[in-house]
Every structure is written in C-alpha cells, then in structure tokens.
Structure 1
Amino acid sequence: MIAAFLLLLQAVAPPGVATQVAPAAPSAAMPTASVPLPPQDWSGLPILPIRRSATIQANTSMYVHGEVMAGRCAKAVRTAQGWTLTLDLAVLATPQGRFRRVTPRAIDCPTVEQYAAGVLVGTPRDAIDLDDTQTDTWYRTSMTFTWAGS
C-alpha cells in the first residue's frame, strides 16, 4: 500500500518537488545520492515557514483515523472533541525551495509517518516561505490530524 501511495505521489507531486520521503536502501540499479540525515536534536532547527495555514482535506485525517482504528497506530490521543495525532517532521530544503528529504519522527506507526511525509511533499511550493540561504537547510514542522468520533 505504501509503494502504491508513493507511486501516486510521484505522479501528482508539483514539478521540481523531490518525492524521496525516507532514505532508501541502495541497490545496484539505483545510484546513491549524498543526502544527509537530520541532526539527532531537532529542537535547534528553524521552524519551516508556511505562509498560510495548510488546509488538509477531510479524507487526509480519515486515512490516519483508519490506521488508528485498525490498531496500526497507538499514539493517537482521545479528546473531548474526538481524536488527535501529532507527528513531527524534519525537512531538508534547497535554497530554491525544493525538499531534498522529509524525515518523520518515529511514532511506531510507519504508515502514518510516511503518509504525513507525503502530504508535506505535496504542499504547494508557494505556501512555503524559505529564508534566503546559500546552502541546503534543515527545518522542523509538525502535522496534527484530528477527527471526531469514538
């Protein structure tokens, strides 16, 4: 299912946006690129500047809801209004605003981790307001999924 999602993501990602969302195991057919891993401590990373609040379609949270209800993700928190699940991500961006790597923080829910990385990769480029830097820069962000119900 993840492979199908990533294939779909590659088909619909905006031009110029990298679709690598996690380090892939090297293979003889795939050249290895030198894309660094995020630092261990993300607290010092600048926050990914998003110009406008990202509106995520209802079916985005419904996918996460389905993973939680299927027992594949135990990190969701029940609130008075329903459920919430927050995931932190580190993003390596080029000076031109392209994402070279998106690394979700592990929450013992790999399908949701990869899904959130894919949602971030699909963010319109004009929604991100990166500082003028001369080098690739790591940023941090969070994504919160919410849904009503029991």
Structure 2
Amino acid sequence: MQIFRVSPDPKVSAEFLDNRRLSKQVLELYQIIRVCLGELDVIKTGPGYRHHPVVEAVYNNGKPYLWGAWILLAAMNEEHMRRGGKRSEVFKKELEGLYDVVKKTDQTLSLSHEDLPPFYIEGEKRIYGGEAYQMYVKLLFDKWQHDKIPPRCDINLNNKA
C-alpha cells in the first residue's frame, strides 16, 4: 500500500500516474480513510490495515489528515474518470457516502485541515518532506521500466525529465 505523490498538488500527482495505479490509488485511499474513521470509532471496520505504516502516517496519532487524504482521493478519481475509467454505481455512492462521513466527523471531532504531509514509506525506510516526492517519481519510473504492460500515462520512459 502506497500513496503515490509526486507533487504537493494532488492534480499533478493524479496526472502523473499510469491508468492501472491511478485506479488502484482511489481504492487504497478509500480504504485508508475508512480505516482511520474506524480507529476514531466513527464507522465499524475490520482489523485489516490498522497497523500499516501508511495508514499510521495518515492517522497521525489520532489527528488524521482525512481532508488531505480526501482531496487526494477526489483528484485521483477525477483523473481516472477523465481518462475514461469506469466506476460502478455502488462505488460512486460509497464515495459520496464517505465524503459525507468525513464532513460530519469534522463537525463533531474537528479534524485536521492541514494538507497531507509528504511521506515515503518502503519497508523500514521512512522519508518525510519534499524529498518524498522525488522518491515516488523514482519508484514509479523503476516500476514502469519493469512492468510487462506499458504505463499508458504519456510518460516517456527514455526521458525522465
């Protein structure tokens, strides 16, 4: 599980991703937000992902960056749909419902409105701050070089600039 951010601008991060990872990113952000809401006892969730390092970074010791995560999810989903991606009506309603829960939770618990800070987590490696964006650019180019399916995201793998 990762949150692929190559820029502080959620739209730029969404546009950078290949179609496959973009679609998965929406689902992973959805899951991360739900786990955080479960930890706040706002919704019932199972035990999965509670101690995942990425979830813990978003959860932020009980002061979760839910708005920042939601803004990123919305940008990723918008880009996915702009590219012709599909969403079931059920999942569209679940996304709307999740937004409503985050909004209502903010009214009762006063969530952090800070941007989701940049972080890069891979195994035991933890990088925070602006360097995290460059680590994700490098990681994505490495993944694209080894993917069996071309990335289909208008990124020229021979010219990384």
> Is the structural similarity TM-score above 0.5?
no
TM-score scaled by length of structure 1: 0.26
Instruction: Name the one with the larger helix percent.
Output: 2
Relative contact order higher in (CA < 8 Å, ≥ 6 apart): 1
